[in-house]
Homo-oligomer: A and B are copies of this chain.
Amino acid sequence: MIERIFAPLTKKVSGAFGLNDDAAVFSSEEGNEIVITKDAIAEGVHFPEGLPAGDIARKLVRVNLSDIAAMGAKAKYYLMSATIPKTTDKKWFKEFAEVLAEEQEEFDISLIGGDTVSYEGKISLSLTMIGEVRKGWEVRRITASDGDDIYVSGTIGDAALGLAVTQGKYGNISEASKEYLISRYIKPLPRMSLGNRLSEIATAALDISDGLIIDSEHLRKGGEIYSDKIPLSDAAKEVLEKHPESFELIVTGGDDYEILFTSNPETHAKIQAISAEISLNLTKIGRVEGDKIRLISSSGDKILLKNKGFSHF
Interface residues of A (CB under 8 A from B): 1-2, 15, 17, 20-28, 33-46, 66-68, 70-71, 73, 79-83, 112-122, 124, 126, 128-131, 133, 135, 138, 140-142, 205-207, 218, 312-313
A27/B135 in contact, CB under 8 A: yes
**B-chain residues with CB within 8 Å of residue A17 when the two chains form the complex:** 140-141
B218/A20 in contact, CB under 8 A: yes
B117/A23 in contact, CB under 8 A: no
A116/B83 in contact, CB under 8 A: no
Q: When A25-B71, A44-B121, A81-B40 are in contact, do A312 and B116 touch as well, CB less than 8 Å?
A: yes
Copies in the complex: 2
Q: Which of B44, B81, B141, B313 has a CB less than 8 Å from the CB of A20?
A: B141
**B-chain residues with CB within 8 Å of residue A73 when the two chains form the complex:** 23
**B-chain residues with CB within 8 Å of residue A114 when the two chains form the complex:** 38
Known: A22-B206, A23-B37, A46-B117. 12 other contacts (CB 8 A): A2-B312, A21-B71, A21-B141, A23-B131, A24-B35, A25-B35, A28-B28, A28-B34, A36-B79, A38-B115, A116-B312, A119-B124
CB distance from A146 to the nearest CB of B (A): 20
Q: Which of B2, B79, B122, B124 has a CB less than 8 Å from the CB of A313?
A: B2
Closest to A68 in B: B23
CA distance A36 to B21 in the complex (A): 11
**B-chain residues with CB within 8 Å of residue A124 when the two chains form the complex:** 42, 83, 117, 119, 121, 124
**B-chain residues with CB within 8 Å of residue A27 when the two chains form the complex:** 28, 33-34, 135
Q: Which of B20, B113, B118 has a CB less than 8 Å from the CB of A142?
A: B20
CA distance A93 to B113 in the complex (A): 27
CB distance from A274 to the nearest CB of B (A): 20
CB distance from A144 to the nearest CB of B (A): 13
B38/A138 in contact, CB under 8 A: no
A26/B33 in contact, CB under 8 A: yes
Closest to A141 in B: B21
**B-chain residues with CB within 8 Å of residue A37 when the two chains form the complex:** 22-24, 79, 113
**B-chain residues with CB within 8 Å of residue A117 when the two chains form the complex:** 40-42, 45-46, 124, 312
Closest to A121 in B: B122
CA distance A129 to B38 in the complex (A): 12
**B-chain residues with CB within 8 Å of residue A21 when the two chains form the complex:** 71, 140-142, 206
CA distance A44 to B118 in the complex (A): 10
Closest to A88 in B: B313
**B-chain residues with CB within 8 Å of residue A38 when the two chains form the complex:** 79-81, 113-115, 126, 128
Q: When A23-B35, A71-B22 are in contact, do A44 and B79 touch as well, CB less than 8 Å?
A: no
Closest to A24 in B: B36
